[in-house]
Structure 1
Amino acid sequence: MAADLDVVNLFIIAGGTLAIPILAFIVSFLLWPSALIKLYYWYWRRTLGLQVRYADCGGYRFCYSCRGKPGMRPSILMLHGFSAHKDSWLTVVKYLPRHLHIVCVDMPGHEGTTRTDTEDYSIQGQARRIHQFVETIGLNRKPFHLVGTSMGGNVAGVYAACYPSETCSITLICPDGQLLHPRETKFDNHLQDLEHSNYTLNIPLIPTTPEEMEDMFRLCSHVRFKIPQQILQGLVDVQQPHITFYQEVFMEIFGEKSRYALQEHLHLITAPLQVIWGKQDQVVDVSGATVIAEELSGCRVDLLDNCGHSVVMERPCQTAKLILEFIIMQQDARGSKKKSS
């Protein structure tokens, strides 16, 4: 009988021990979903072996995460999109070999990187800041592979044009900005409505409610999935303190100074270029890939079926595979040229 009581007590203690973290998780999920989202990113950085670091230059601080050390393959610098952060690359980094040197930086003013009222957040201004970052951490000791998605793709293209000796190859994923002759998208219609209203309407890429957050996911993703209301609220809560800043950046990157930045710099890009685009992109039409390929001979174009603007989120494994294939192909081509010469 005493033994039976011991077993019962053991189950009660074990159940109570497990109930505490489970209850804490449920309460956190319901009351502080934004805290859980941050914890999620922290967990996956740790799991994938990424370390968060800071680089200071003249009073300006860059926040970035990195994994590995420079080796035989070129280092990879990854630039995220508008209103995102370095952790948005975690889904892709998961499928890249651990021996590669990978650097994911928070774009100017985003997440842990310095935000100032006097900063130039135009595409050209951001490219100059990223160059400052590259010089600060010494990433340009030898040419690296540059990857950018959406706004980051626009910046990556301008960067490669302005600093050609620093990039050995480039991958642009659904780069934003306007290119000559692409078809209009659902987002283009939103932009026209915004301009006609003198920007008094809500900006689709800056959601302020769970409903608007869900609408943004529908706009950016072809894949339809149901996101719990608590998670949507958590994502809104994370963005809420930065709304004014995002509005400022939006006006900069879609203003006259930046709108055609990529188009105007395409002819200056000399490094081998890869373009990855979702065929169902509703933000920047996939026809932009053809415009880029026509401007740059030898450009590799990879179009993804049943995929929208959020390629990194919708097709992380395929994206990592395509990037790695391109890097290896370019490195092999350079090796062949050296042998023949």
Structure 2
Amino acid sequence: MKYEIKQHDKFRFIEEGGGQTLVLLHGLFGALSNFSDLIDYFKNYMKVVVPMLPLLDMDILNTSVSGLAKYVNKFIETRGYEDVHLLGNSLGGHVGLVYLLRNEPWQVKSIILTGSSGLFENGMGDSYPKRGDREYIRKKTAYTFFDPAMATEELVDEVFEITNNRLKVIKIIALAKSAIRNNLEEELGKITIPALLIWGKNDNITPPFVAEEFKKLLPNSELHFIDKCGHAPMMEVPEEFNKILLNFLQRQGAIVTKVS
């Protein structure tokens, strides 16, 4: 499904549905397609918002997890969202955590993490992306999933286009190094809002022990594993992911009735 991309000041974003706000933060190689099933489902219950994170468009000095967290803070302030539930996949989860820790925003009611960095991650696997090697990119994209067939030609093309641009690769490396440096182990105890962890049991990038560590360090958290699932559960097993998320959001009072 195609969504209208809206513009407010410098911010580009999708906004669908009504009610309390569910903000979705994508990862380093993320795209709108990562969240399509989630948007289609939850726009019936909530206002679903996806900011286009400027991962590869910021100047090199601000190309960092902290720089992206500042961007998210400014976006939510500019839009005036209240009753926000923040969901982040991979680097997006890390950005969401740093945003919470640096700003302590009153309007954020819960956080949902899936395959989040912030404690440990394998990145692209054994090395940084190689330019011009499409087969390498195919293999590393498939590494993200339990079912390698999820690495469609369209998805491989998206990642290949990014990694075949020298400046974009420099920024990818800058973000990856920033994520490694920005370890949140000592700070996570400060986040006391309800936290939902949805994790693939077969996640190669942020393995299950990472989810267990998040569960231990976030004082008000719950953890759900999904079997036969990799690093992006909302893409690979959307029905099960949405069911777990719906139950959590109902318990937070985020969903009162279905939007007509």
TM-score normalised by length of structure 2 = 0.85
Partner of 2:15: 66
Aligned length: 253
Select between 263-272 and 233-242 the one with higher mean Cα deviation. 233-242
Task: Please say which structure displays the higher CA radius of gyration.
Answer: 1
Residue by residue over 1:93-131, the C-alpha shift from the partner in whole angstroms, topping out at 9 and shown as x without a partner, is: 122252410101111245xxxx24255122122111110
Cα separation, partners in 2 of 1:135 and 1:224, compared to 1, 3 Å:
same
Partner residue, 1:51: 4
Which residue number in structure 1 is paired with residue 28 of structure 2?
A: 82
Q: Does 1:98 align with 2:41?
A: no
Q: CA deviation at 1:252?
A: 3.1
The question of 1:162 aligning with 2:102 is answered yes
1:41-60, Cα deviation, whole Å (9 max, x unpaired): xxx12xxxx3210121xxxx
Is residue 326 of structure 1 aligned with residue 214 of structure 2? Answer: no
> Which residue, 172, 185, 200 being the options, matches 2:113?
172
After superposition, give the CA deviation of every residue in 1:175-209 in whole Å (9 maximum; x if it has no partner). Answer: 02334xxxx86x5861xxx4xxxxxxxx24x7643
Deviation at 1:237, TM superposition (A): 6.0
- Which residue of the partner structure matches residue 235 of structure 1? 158
Native 8 Å contact 2:16 2:43 kept in 1: no
Which whole-Å CA distance do the structure 2 matches of 1:135 and 1:170 have between them? 17
CA RMSD of aligned residues (A): 2.7
SS of structure 1 residue aligned to 2:24: strand
Query: Which residue pairs with 2:211 in the alignment?
Result: 289
Q: Which residue of 1 aligns with 2:176?
A: 253
The percent of aligned pairs where both chains have the same amino acid is 24
**Counterpart in the other structure of 1:134:** 76
Offset of residue 295 of structure 1: 1.4
Q: Give 1:259 shift.
A: 3.0
Q: Quick one: higher RCO (CA 8 Å, sep 6+), 1 or 2?
A: 2
Could you tell me which runs of 5 or more consecutive residues in structure 2 were left unpaired when the two chains were aligned.
255-260
2:172 alignment partner AA: V
Task: State whether residues 124 and 258 of structure 1, in contact with CA within 8 Å, keep that contact through their aligned partners in structure 2.
Answer: no
Distance 1:248 1:312 in 2: 26
Greater share of helix? 1
Query: Within 5 Å, which residues of 2 pair with 1:144-163?
Result: 144-163=84-103
Aligned to 1:273: 195
Q: Is residue 215 from structure 1 mapped to residue 164 from structure 2 by the alignment?
A: no
For 1:86 and 1:279, locate their aligned partners in 2 and report how far apart those are by CA, in whole Å: 24
Work out whether residues 192 and 220 of structure 2, in 8 Å CA contact, stay in contact via their aligned partners in 1: no
Asked if residue 121 in structure 1 is aligned to residue 63 in structure 2, the reply is yes
Q: What is the CA distance between 1:280 and its match in structure 2?
A: 0.7
- Summarize the Cα distance change of 1:313–1:150 in structure 2 as closer, same or farther, 3 Å threshold: same
- Give the secondary structure class of the aligned counterpart of 1:261: coil
Query: Cα deviation per residue 1:137-179 (whole Å; 9 max; x = unaligned)?
Result: 111xx23100000000111112222333121011001102334
State the alpha-carbon separation in 1 of the partners of residues 93 and 156 from structure 2. 28
Q: Comparing 207-216 with 121-130, which one deviates more in the overlay? A: 207-216
